[in-house]
Amino acid sequence: MRPLEGKAAIVTGASRGIGRAIALKLAALGARCAICARDEGRLGEVVREITNAGGTAEAMALDLREPEAPSRVADFCLSRFERIDIVVNNAGATKRGEFLTLSDADFSDGFALKYFGSVRLVRAAWPHLKASGGSVVNIVGVGGRTPGAQFAIGGSVNAALLSLTKSLAASGIADGVQVNAVSPGAVRTDRLKNRLQQAASEGGGDVAAAEKHFVTAEKITRIGEPEDIAGLVAFVVGPEGRFLQGALIDMDGGATKTI
């Protein structure tokens, strides 16, 4: 079954990790994907993966921190597919570190990409999502609910995105646009792989041992895979998930213990 047949999806930060997995999943379900990120080479690889599997994708390399970039992405999707049905705001890594080591520039950079990139893309796409009865999914992060000492920027940005999701969802009821957020926990992205490799090197063990220790220390069931998040996003924007509106969904192996 291809429940997203004929729909057009924008996926940001789609050159690797969670964004790549989401683009592959939506394309496999029939969506035509306009993907973007800064790495043109990696984007090309994702497009080839999708097309080799029988799907449709077009890529645009740009930096969503630039104020005009999000509207360019929306225009790009319209020019290629003549509609916008799904927007997945996934782009945006933020700098980790203790609060007193972080500069104004670090905070500005985190908000410019992840928060304002999402704001501007939704603003540009909203009239077209309204016309198509479309969906927005913000990929946020569990740090928005329970930030730690190393996550002053990421926690702040993610909390703002959770609030934005609720606000947009209220507007979406009147306009017929579905808006939700998915917050991943520890997922096997390049960033986490590097952390595990560093922990293994410092501890004198191997990566498998470092991963086992990490899972135990974080009190989670396991480390997630990008495909876990992609499957949830596909459910949310598919026909079976349409009753979700303004949902802030944690997919984190039990990391979030608070209500």
Write out pLDDT tens, residues 137-178: 999 999 999 888 999 999 999 999 999 999 999 999 999 999
Of the pLDDT bands very low, low, confident and very high (cuts 50, 70, 90), residue 209 is: very high
Mean pLDDT value of segment 205-223: 95
In this prediction, residue 73 carries a pLDDT of 98
Strand order of the β-sheet with 248-251 is 56-61, 32-37, 8-12, 86-89, 135-139, 178-184, 248-251
**What span, in angstroms and rounded, lies between the C-alpha atoms of 209 and 166?**
40
pTM metric for this prediction: 0.96
Would you say residue 1 has pLDDT above 80? no
Would you say residue 4 has pLDDT above 90? yes
By CB neighbour count within 10 A (0-12 exposed, 13-18 middle, 19+ buried), where does 182 fall?
buried
